Structure 1
Amino acid sequence: MSTDSPAVTVGVDFGTLSGRALVVAVVDGTELGSAVHEYTHGVVDSALPGGGPGLPPDWALQIPQDWRDVLRFAVPEALRAAGVRPEQVIGIATDFTACTVLPTASDGTPLCELPRFAYRPHAYPKLWRHHAAQPEADLIVERARESGQPWLGRYGGKISSEWQYAKALQTLHEDPGVYAAADRWIEAADWIVWQLTGAESRNPCAAGYKGIHQDGRYPGADYLASLHPDFAGFTAKLEHPLSPLGTPAGGLTPGAAELTGLPAGTVVAVGNVDAHVTSAAAQSLDPGNMLAIMGTSTCHVMNSDVLAEVPGMCGVVRDGVVPGLWGYEAGQSGVGDIFAWAARTVAPEGYAAEARHRGISVHDLLTEKAAAQPVGAHGLLALDWHSGNRSVLVDHHLSGLVVGLTLDTRPEDVYRALIEATAFGTRVIVEAFDRAGVPVTEFTAAGGLLRNRFLMQTYSDVLGRPVHVLRSEQGPALGSAIHAAVAAGAYPDIRTASAAMGCRAKRAYTPDRGRSAAYDRLYAEYQSLHDHFGRDGSTVMHRLRHLRDQAVASSAQQR
């Protein structure tokens, strides 16, 4: 290929509400063009598109055709925006939210696309934030403790309701017909690669963090039978040889080439998870460098040459982020979602009118007003559990809390308290790693929330350490493009490609000593609330959720 036609790769990031395609120069990671396709159906959490009974609380589904449409519309549009020809593309890679998992037939057809399953919710992909499988997650942990399963410690002692096994067991409990018909139980990250290449493959990232794959194997049949007799053979639905990250999964089929506008045979990289692939974009692959990918939720990813059991982490997987190191993951189930809730429900119409008049968002207005306060002036303290707690408590039946409300409390007070609460939640995670002997030596942030400078400064002040930031607003897509370059042979490994194509600004935020000292005092109070409601104190949050579910079920029966 001539210098007039430089090689490029395409990274496709499948998010919660949309998918993004990014065209990147292989030589230095320059972002040449991108396009976004909004999912037609978004998150399906109230009723199936074709009608039928309403979905229960804590459900979150998606529609596979929305994902195909990202390939159909966003990839060609990104190529046009970049001004490059399809033949310049040497590779394409994808990343996905996780655990977003679906049941399919043996040929990869989603069960929800078969007429006989169109009105059965369990036939649809369960999005990462589907939390209705908490009872199954609790049972998985209980039986694992009873039988001394060696893999449990690799996940901080608990299994999340978001993961493959809990969601599959829920399907078996509530719709055994769908469970029996599912020849495959597959992460969307691997399913989309199947659509591109025509060949099934599995990636070690999703298998390790979301599928309890440790030391080359999944949980045994005897243990699975203890969960349900018909669950003993579940592993057969997901077991497949794992392909190393950054390697080719195959080439584009003629059908996929027509769909994307790329040449048939273009190299397709092994699938990956959105948060983990971002580490390459943020040049955060070295041991001890924790990367926080901050969006609707936050995922914390870090590599280490040390294997340890960190209480409440989401998992530690060999080669899970980059070959040769142990990759650790933790996370917070709600961050940007919590701020969006506050903007919707806390700010009165007067605030919205002021924001419109000034041509800014309600978020910007609340941030501006919140930033003008000294630390602690609002007199509030919040728990950031509106979507449950992923780390370190691993309990999605917890809920949010704001303490200290008075008749003088203003919307910006609540908004700032919620920002601080998410920062405190991150500090809990960082300190858990430090105590477990996996020290966090650097902290890097990525994701859409980086646009809020006050938010990022608050994190630096609360953590008491500098915060580096990814200089791209499209971290997962850039990370995927980097993996595509490695799969296509442009670089020998992910770390080399990351050094050439990734980008981060070091010490973008540094802590203010006075604010950090004030936050230390607030953080001590946060820890007290955290442990009281999340560990060994009150179970009122669980009881309230139970009462809510009973009321909803009763109301549905009356209708």
Structure 2
Amino acid sequence: MTGSDNGAVAIGIDFGTLSGRVVVASVADGRELASAEHVYTHGAIETALPGSGVRLPRSWALQSPQDWVDVLKNAVPAALAAAGVTADRVVGVATDFTACTILPTTADGTPLCELDDLKDRPHAWPKLWKHHAAQGQADRINAVAAERGESWLPRYGGKISSEWAYAKGLQLLEEDREVYDRAERWIEAADWIIWQLCGEETRNVCTAGYKGIVQDGERPSREYLAALNPDFAGFNAKMEHPLSALGDRAGGITAQAAAWTGLNEGTTVAVGNVDAHVTAASAKAVGAGKLVAIMGTSTCHVVNGENLTEAPGMCGVVRDGITPGLWGYEAGQSGVGDIFAWFTANGVPAAYTEAAAAKGVSIHEHLTELAAEQPVGAHGLVALDWHSGNRSVLVDHDLHGVVLGLGLQTRPEEIYRALVEATAFGTRMIVETLTKSGVPIEEFVAAGGLLKNKWLMQTYSDVLRMPITVLTSGQGPALGSAIHAAVAAGEYPDIYAASEAMGKVERDAYVPDQARADAYDELYAVYEELHDHFGRGGSRALHTLHRIAAEAAK
């Protein structure tokens, strides 16, 4: 079939950091008939465990599996009702997730945090993507791999992130051996939620490749794992499972999941995916050379290439990792919207908040309006966008933010502008690293919540010196999942055809201004200097401050 307009719909479910969002989309053309959101009861668990109040150490970030199931129970029925769609019209459902968000379970998929005797143990809970407490383990993973000449290391830019599966798994072993031993499965939330929907464990090629170090069908060897820690030698057994291609059918909805969602038992469930990677489909960017930046609390950058090359500091290059038949490259910034939110919560005087309220706008809109009035460089500032560490291209989460050039005359809107510019500079660093490494970038496509800020998007275009195409759907990942659901259900022959029919973009929505671009080149040169000084060995000051703070907090 080819997506004929027979009233068929597909459902996409996007599991984010703080909520889950559901879209009901027409299979014929991707029209979004309705959407619904369920805000997680527990959100990102970063200070104490729910119920017991057990305090969490610095740099921890967890989630609750019950929050994810509640999305199925609440947002799916709500979206169907809002669309006026019966279950008989739904041909398939697909999901995407933040990654690496990973959890320990029993053999039947029961999360260890739901066991009475383990619910008060932090390591029994799912570790959210932004759990950065395994940096020490990541450093050893990288050092030992480099010493041994492990062939997979260059495909991750020379460094494995503390956010990924092996660093978090090694931390589990070394900090709570009992929980480690009782974890029969160590599974990405992206795959766990599919298990809950169709009753069968599956593992997708995307998370396995980017977060689980699967290259050319192999995981890191037992000998390598033993070199990290003799008791870690058998870790692969907790993850080992045949991998499924993106867009494949994982199974049919179980009776239990049908009762949760209001969908028909047996409805097609697609293989799990990652929120950033699945967005390439909704952005019509499944071909080579089209970089998609999903811009929200963090930013993930994904792009396909026809050939394999090794770009330093990337989160990985994986065959079929984004689109079947191509090499998918991933990079990212661990903090973007989070940085702006931090500043508005902690760095803005009450008078600014009151002025925003008087105008009936958010503090972000007020600061944006003030910042946009300034000429490029007038604030005399340059910032480093490392408030949540650096994912690409330094892969170091012990780094933290810097603002250079502050004076007694500096105003909040100037700092706000410098932080926005810093995130744009960070993206330029990633784009230039990719192109210098032989990965052509022919189009920059933006998606995510930050698209609402037009000045921010124009700033990115000016800094990058590139036109920016925008995803016109406000639910890019969920729509991308719906597109994969349509493929899994057989409505389209492949993801290329489905993306072309169902994707939603506006080409060249932003075009760089030559004068501003020239001015930003000079600021970017300062950013590069600071980036390399603090991030590449010129100074250990940020690492020293991180160590001092960690020791003081004990």
Residue equivalent to 2:448: 447
Mapping of residues 137-176 of structure 1, within 5 Å: 137-176=138-177
1:332 aligns with 2:357: no
Can you give the 5+ residue segments of structure 1 that lack an aligned partner in the other structure? 554-559
The CA distance in 2 between the partners of 1:552 and 1:343, in whole Å, is: 25
Check the 8 A contact 2:44/2:62 in 1, yes or no.
yes
- Name the SS for the 2:42 alignment partner: coil
Shift of 1:53: 3.2
1:307 aligns with 2:308: yes
- Name the SS for the 2:138 alignment partner: helix
Shift of 1:86: 1.1
- Name the SS for the 1:186 alignment partner: strand
Residue equivalent to 2:19: 18
Residue equivalent to 1:545: 546
Q: Residues 433 and 228 (structure 1 numbering): CA distance in 2 closer, same or farther, change over 3 Å? A: same
The CA distance in 1 between the partners of 2:385 and 2:540, in whole Å, is: 16
Residue equivalent to 1:241: 242
Residue equivalent to 2:203: 202
The CA distance in 1 between the partners of 2:527 and 2:355, in whole Å, is: 33
The CA distance in 2 between the partners of 1:247 and 1:285, in whole Å, is: 16
Residue equivalent to 2:393: 392
User: For each residue in 1:303-322, what CA deviation from the matched residue of structure 2 results, as whole angstroms up to 9, or x when unmatched?
Assistant: 01010000000000000001
Residue equivalent to 1:556: none
The CA distance in 1 between the partners of 2:422 and 2:69, in whole Å, is: 37
More deviation, 254-263/50-59: 50-59
User: For each residue in 1:41-72, what CA deviation from the matched residue of structure 2 results, as whole angstroms up to 9, or x when unmatched?
Assistant: 00111110022431001000000000000000
Residue equivalent to 1:513: 514
RMSD: 1.1
Residue equivalent to 1:488: 489
Residue equivalent to 1:377: 378
Residue equivalent to 1:405: 406
Shift of 1:3: 9.3
- Name the SS for the 1:117 alignment partner: coil
Residue equivalent to 1:33: 34
Shift of 1:229: 0.8
Tell me the amino acid that sits aligned with residue 97 of structure 1: T
Shift of 1:175: 0.1
- Name the SS for the 2:174 alignment partner: helix
Check the 8 A contact 2:27/2:491 in 1, yes or no.
yes
Shift of 1:420: 0.4
TM-score, normalization by structure 2: 0.99
The CA distance in 1 between the partners of 2:446 and 2:5, in whole Å, is: 35
Residue equivalent to 1:499: 500
Tell me the amino acid that sits aligned with residue 242 of structure 1: L
The CA distance in 2 between the partners of 1:270 and 1:410, in whole Å, is: 49
Residue equivalent to 2:75: 74
User: For each residue in 1:399-433, what CA deviation from the matched residue of structure 2 results, as whole angstroms up to 9, or x when unmatched?
Assistant: 00001111110000000000000000000000101
Tell me the amino acid that sits aligned with residue 465 of structure 1: M
Residue equivalent to 1:62: 63
- Name the SS for the 2:444 alignment partner: strand
Shift of 1:342: 1.2
The CA distance in 2 between the partners of 1:12 and 1:370, in whole Å, is: 36
The CA distance in 2 between the partners of 1:437 and 1:252, in whole Å, is: 43
Residue equivalent to 1:557: none
Tell me the amino acid that sits aligned with residue 239 of structure 1: E
Check the 8 A contact 2:463/2:521 in 1, yes or no.
yes
- Name the SS for the 1:116 alignment partner: coil
User: For each residue in 1:177-219, what CA deviation from the matched residue of structure 2 results, as whole angstroms up to 9, or x when unmatched?
Assistant: 0000000000000000000000000000000000000000100
1:522 aligns with 2:523: yes
Residue equivalent to 2:184: 183
- Percent identity for Structure 1 against Structure 2: 65
Mapping of residues 75-94 of structure 1, within 5 Å: 75-94=76-95
Check the 8 A contact 2:4/2:28 in 1, yes or no.
no
The CA distance in 2 between the partners of 1:79 and 1:265, in whole Å, is: 17
The CA distance in 1 between the partners of 2:429 and 2:6, in whole Å, is: 49
Can you give the 5+ residue segments of structure 2 that lack an aligned partner in the other structure? none
The CA distance in 2 between the partners of 1:9 and 1:507, in whole Å, is: 29
Tell me the amino acid that sits aligned with residue 169 of structure 1: L
User: For each residue in 1:345-401, what CA deviation from the matched residue of structure 2 results, as whole angstroms up to 9, or x when unmatched?
Assistant: 121111111111111000000000000000001111100000000000000000000
More deviation, 148-157/337-346: 337-346
Mapping of residues 284-323 of structure 1, within 5 Å: 284-323=285-324
Shift of 1:5: 6.2
